[in-house]
A = this chain, B = another copy of it.
Amino acid sequence: MALVCLFDEAVGLDRFQLGGKGYGLVEMSSIGLPVPPGMIITTEACKKYYAQGGRVPEGLFDELKQKLAKLETLTGRQLGNPEKPLFVSVRSGAPYSMPGMMDTILNLGLNEETAVTLAKRTGNERFALDAHRRFIQMFGKIALGVNGQKFEDILESHKQKLHLKQDTDLGPAELRLIIQEFRDLIKHDTGSELPRDPWAQLQMAVKAVFRSWSNPRAVEYRRYYKIADDLGTAVTLQQMVFGNMGEDSGTGVGFTRNPSTGEKKLYGEYLRNAQGEDVVAGIRTPDSLDTVTAGLRSQIVDVAGKLESHFKEMQDFEFTVENGKFYLLQTRNGKRTAQATVKIAVDMVGEKLINRDEAISRINPAEIDQLLHRTLDPKANVKAIAKGLNASPGAASGIAVFDTNEAAMLGEKGERVILVRPETTPEDIHGIIRAQGLLTARGGMTSHAAVVARGMGKAAVVGCSSIKLDPDNRFFKTADGLIVKRGELITIDGSTGEVLLGNVPMIEPELTDDFRTLLGWADKSRRLGVWANADNPEAARKASEFGAEGIGLCRTERMFNASDRLPIVREMILSEDEEHRKAALRRLFPFQLSDFKDIFRSMAGKPVTVRLLDLPLHEFLPSAEEVMMIMEDQRSKHASASAMEQEARLLAKIRQLSEHNPMLGHRGCRLAVTYPEIYETQTEAIIRAAIEVRREKGETVRVLIMLPLITNVNEMIFLRKHVETAAEHVFAEMGEKIGYKVGTMVETPRAALTAGELAKYADFFSFGTNDLTQTTYAFSRDDAEAKFMSRYLEDKILTDSPFETLDTTGVGRLVRMAKEEGRKTNPHLEVGVCGEHGGDPRSVAFFNEVGLDYVSCSAYRLPIARIAAAQAAIAKSKTVGTV
């Protein structure tokens, strides 16, 4: 394969061979757009360079020389020829854009002689000298490795001497002096003269571009953006065009559509008599493309149209006008806001540029998250004072409040409050509900605060361990020593984990018509059902609004820890025998009944999967420390013996229930094996609620009862029997029946490994991929994220956190096995996912491929899941098509 291709020889190669920049040039050139001629050294050459330990591939420069000769013929100019000098740019260009990370050398071909020719040709000596000066500076720094600051220092000293402000104010005489000083610097620092032969320079420039692929900035950038290290960069050689040749020259950038709004309207800027870097330097204000000459504008409009109809995408292009002649120097897909992405995709379908599947496929689902939450205005110039885990997306401002009751009280009065706590417990719910957002010093992505906030769509930053929090004295202190007291205004960004001082301007979310249209198309393309995780009627309504086809996970913990129920729940836990326990459960019954009715009403006949109690009982009790403080207080106040006795009993129970590893302890269905009456009461409330709502509304209520943490088919058999008995009890009482299903979470490796057996007794499986990941890896999510996950990602031992994107190799293997073996023994088995992976696009693609029936995720991630599910289906149908 050729390592060097002239533009017209490169047609058909892709961006992995040509780099993004080269690909754009080749494509534009191929459709007749005015591109200065040039050639591309493909990424292949760079890869060989590295494979050979930093040596230029054999024959590369021979090939380059041959192709250069063709370019010289084509342009009628020659590199280094004093009469008809050819000037070229030597640019890096990787398959994925890495802006500013690698090196580029312009104006190659300029030397003492050709600079004179250029001056003559343009009639602008200053321009020619300055171009020469720029070349030496770039070449010295990049190809010869001279410290760039030294060139700047020389330039600066001349400006200071003459009291000049801008480089452009330097006249020809000064520029000559500077050029000489640059040459002296190079000789002094490298021990040799600057090579005079442009061909030698060109070879050095190519090598410099290769080297720049592995400079520390570029490596760091790739690590951050997860770009593979072995892609290599291409090198583009192109004839220089100059926008600074006078008033009929200039340079500009254009977007084929508005990148902020997506509106189909040419957008961009133009600076007369200038080169690209002058735009960056910002000496003069560029003109809007609306104000350029009609001739130029019509050329740009024409180009924009051609670009879009070729690339089928909004383009961001750079152009230069040299003496009235228009040249395109670059084009690429334009960066845009999420809102613009959606609008453009929908509009282009209307314009028949693309079809609906293509529209869906080009959305980055992760990006549209920002359309669903308030976000900080990116233009606001603010600095974070601390950073924690981005536990629940969205941004919120309010006064810092350190006490839950106070937060609830202020919130109720309409005050905007950020609740700041070491961590939260179910008892903080009333404060969380009334707060705008949540900031905790401890806890990870599955901490109480994080889970509750995500469920409510409320912004939260958790595990912000860099702050020193003193809730008693109502302040926190940042790592920099800044003290934030109660009542001070702060802002948290739950999408980035940042904490900021003051009230930061925000952008409100907008569910535009375009977005709805796109989601509608997605729904038609996808195979996977998209359900929601919702624990209460508001969340259920939100889920319906965002397109949920059912509830895949309705946790019942909140029905136990709301403040009006907690005392009864505690009574139940402290009961010494079954009789008292049952009595307490009876008193909880009405609350549960009304909660379930509300949820069934708001889902209006769509399926609702209720997970029976999962949390360990100690989660419903206060901490030992809290009780000990109360007891101390009682002692000092000489409280009654019976009151003290009560607290002592509570403390004993807390100690008795405490566990070494609560995640692996007495929770989930294990609770119900010990106390079957808990699930019995829950089942009775569910079934009664379903029948009552059916009577009310006359429409079927679809109930799925889900058993958590099953590891053993005997648990399934034992508890299914209890559930069925409880349901029969209600049927008998109410004189009518209702259909319902009983299924299990698959959230332990053993459940997955014995899925064939479980499926004989389960109507459905729901993969709890959070816990399944924790147990498969033996990772406690909180501990892993606090202690070692970042190190694992940095060292590339993990490429992604398995809690964000499903580990398809290990956990995914269990998912696949369980689904296949479950379906084998029970062909009617419904199989879904209710872990947070249900809202992660890459995981959704996997679940689609494995053949699950649905994914379930929090309401605010539903649009993402709908898009991702459609993309997965489209990608799969393409694969099937080509195989």
Interface residues of A in 774-799 (CB under 8 A from B): 774-780, 782-784, 787-788, 791-792, 795-798
Point out the residues of chain B lying under 8 angstroms from A747, CB to CB: 778
**Cross-chain contact of A753 among B750, B774, B776 (Cβ < 8 A):** B776
Q: Is the CB of B778 within 8 A of A814?
A: no
Is A163 interfacial (CB 8 A cutoff)?
Answer: no
Point out the residues of chain B lying under 8 angstroms from A664, CB to CB: 661, 663-664, 774-775, 778-780, 783-784
Q: How far is the CB of A752 from chain B (nearest CB, A)?
A: 9
Stretch from A189-197, A635-643, A689-697, A706-714 at the B interface: A706-714
Is A827 interfacial (CB 8 A cutoff)?
Answer: no
Interface residues of A in 759-785 (CB under 8 A from B): 771, 774-780, 782-784
Q: Is the CB of A796 within 8 A of B714?
A: yes
Q: How far is the CB of A875 from chain B (nearest CB, A)?
A: 25
What string of 1s and 0s marks CB contacts (under 8 Å) between A642-667 and chain B?
00000000000000000111111110
Point out the residues of chain B lying under 8 angstroms from A784, CB to CB: 664-666
Q: How far is the CB of A471 from chain B (nearest CB, A)?
A: 15
Point out the residues of chain B lying under 8 angstroms from A779, CB to CB: 664, 711
**Cross-chain contact of A775 among B775, B782, B792, B807 (Cβ < 8 A):** B775
Point out the residues of chain B lying under 8 angstroms from A810, CB to CB: 711, 749-750, 753-754
Q: Is the CB of B783 within 8 A of A666?
A: yes
Q: How far is the CB of A415 from chain B (nearest CB, A)?
A: 33
Is A221 interfacial (CB 8 A cutoff)?
Answer: no
Complexed CA–CA distance, A661 and B757 (Å): 30
Contact sample, A vs B, 30 pairs, CB 8 Å cutoff: A660-B663, A660-B783, A661-B662, A661-B663, A661-B664, A661-B780, A661-B783, A664-B784, A665-B783, A666-B787, A670-B787, A670-B788, A673-B795, A673-B797, A674-B788, A674-B791, A711-B779, A712-B797, A714-B795, A714-B796, A749-B776, A749-B810, A750-B776, A750-B807, A750-B810, A750-B811, A753-B810, A753-B814, A757-B809, A775-B775
Is A813 interfacial (CB 8 A cutoff)?
Answer: yes
Complexed CA–CA distance, A791 and B662 (Å): 18
| Interface size, chain A (Cβ < 8 Å) | 49
Point out the residues of chain B lying under 8 angstroms from A814, CB to CB: 749, 753
What string of 1s and 0s marks CB contacts (under 8 Å) between A302-327 and chain B?
00000000000000000000000000
Point out the residues of chain B lying under 8 angstroms from A673, CB to CB: 788, 791-792, 795, 797
Point out the residues of chain B lying under 8 angstroms from A750, CB to CB: 776-778, 807, 810-811
Point out the residues of chain B lying under 8 angstroms from A662, CB to CB: 660-661, 783
Is A748 interfacial (CB 8 A cutoff)?
Answer: yes
Complexed CA–CA distance, A787 and B811 (Å): 28
Point out the residues of chain B lying under 8 angstroms from A774, CB to CB: 664
Complexed CA–CA distance, A782 and B664 (Å): 10
List the 5 shortest-distance A-B pairs measured between CB atoms, nearest first.
A664-B780, A661-B780, A665-B783, A666-B787, A750-B810
Complexed CA–CA distance, A179 and B754 (Å): 62
Point out the residues of chain B lying under 8 angstroms from A807, CB to CB: 750
Q: Which of A778, A791, A797 has the most CB of B within 10 A?
A: A778
The main secondary structure of chain A at its interface with chain B is: helix
Is A269 interfacial (CB 8 A cutoff)?
Answer: no
Q: How far is the CB of A423 from chain B (nearest CB, A)?
A: 10
Complexed CA–CA distance, A389 and B674 (Å): 20
Complexed CA–CA distance, A165 and B782 (Å): 75
Q: Is the CB of A809 within 8 A of B660?
A: no
Q: Is the CB of B753 within 8 A of A809?
A: yes
Complexed CA–CA distance, A786 and B423 (Å): 28
Q: How far is the CB of A715 from chain B (nearest CB, A)?
A: 6
Q: How far is the CB of A670 from chain B (nearest CB, A)?
A: 5
Residues of chain A touching chain B, judged by Cβ–Cβ distance below 8 Å, are 659-666, 670, 673-674, 709, 711-712, 714-715, 718, 747-750, 753-754, 757, 771, 774-780, 782-784, 787-788, 791-792, 795-798, 807, 809-811, 813-814
Point out the residues of chain B lying under 8 angstroms from A709, CB to CB: 778
Complexed CA–CA distance, A664 and B770 (Å): 14
**Cross-chain contact of A787 among B665, B714, B783 (Cβ < 8 A):** B665
Complexed CA–CA distance, A777 and B711 (Å): 6
Complexed CA–CA distance, A550 and B872 (Å): 53
Complexed CA–CA distance, A784 and B782 (Å): 21
Q: Is the CB of B660 within 8 A of A712?
A: no
Complexed CA–CA distance, A787 and B661 (Å): 12
Point out the residues of chain B lying under 8 angstroms from A663, CB to CB: 660-661, 664, 778, 780
Q: Which residue of B lies closest to A753 (CB)?
A: B810
Q: Is the CB of B711 within 8 A of A778?
A: yes
Q: Is the CB of B666 within 8 A of A788?
A: yes
Q: Which residue of B lies closest to A718 (CB)?
A: B797
Q: Is the CB of B748 within 8 A of A714?
A: no
Q: How far is the CB of A563 from chain B (nearest CB, A)?
A: 25
Complexed CA–CA distance, A753 and B747 (Å): 16
**Cross-chain contact of A778 among B714, B715, B771, B798 (Cβ < 8 A):** B771
Q: How far is the CB of A444 from chain B (nearest CB, A)?
A: 8
User: 15 new A-B pairs (CB below 8 Å) besides A748-B778, A750-B807?
Assistant: A659-B787, A661-B661, A661-B662, A661-B664, A661-B780, A662-B783, A665-B783, A666-B787, A674-B788, A712-B797, A749-B749, A749-B776, A750-B778, A750-B810, A754-B810
Complexed CA–CA distance, A783 and B663 (Å): 10
Point out the residues of chain B lying under 8 angstroms from A811, CB to CB: 750
Complexed CA–CA distance, A241 and B666 (Å): 59
Q: How far is the CB of A827 from chain B (nearest CB, A)?
A: 22
Point out the residues of chain B lying under 8 angstroms from A792, CB to CB: 673
Point out the residues of chain B lying under 8 angstroms from A659, CB to CB: 780, 782-783, 787
Q: Which residue of B lies closest to A659 (CB)?
A: B783
Q: Is the CB of B711 within 8 A of A665?
A: no
Q: How far is the CB of A661 from chain B (nearest CB, A)?
A: 4
Q: Which residue of B lies closest to A714 (CB)?
A: B797
Known: A798-B712, A814-B749. A780 touches B670 (CB 8 A): no
**Cross-chain contact of A777 among B748, B757, B791, B797 (Cβ < 8 A):** B748
Q: How far is the CB of A833 from chain B (nearest CB, A)?
A: 18
Complexed CA–CA distance, A673 and B666 (Å): 32
Complexed CA–CA distance, A75 and B787 (Å): 85
Q: How far is the CB of A440 from chain B (nearest CB, A)?
A: 14
Complexed CA–CA distance, A714 and B670 (Å): 35
Complexed CA–CA distance, A753 and B753 (Å): 11
Point out the residues of chain B lying under 8 angstroms from A778, CB to CB: 663-664, 709, 711, 747-750, 771, 775
Complexed CA–CA distance, A674 and B792 (Å): 8
Point out the residues of chain B lying under 8 angstroms from A776, CB to CB: 711, 748-750, 753, 775
Complexed CA–CA distance, A748 and B714 (Å): 24
Point out the residues of chain B lying under 8 angstroms from A748, CB to CB: 776-778
Complexed CA–CA distance, A718 and B811 (Å): 22
Point out the residues of chain B lying under 8 angstroms from A712, CB to CB: 797-798
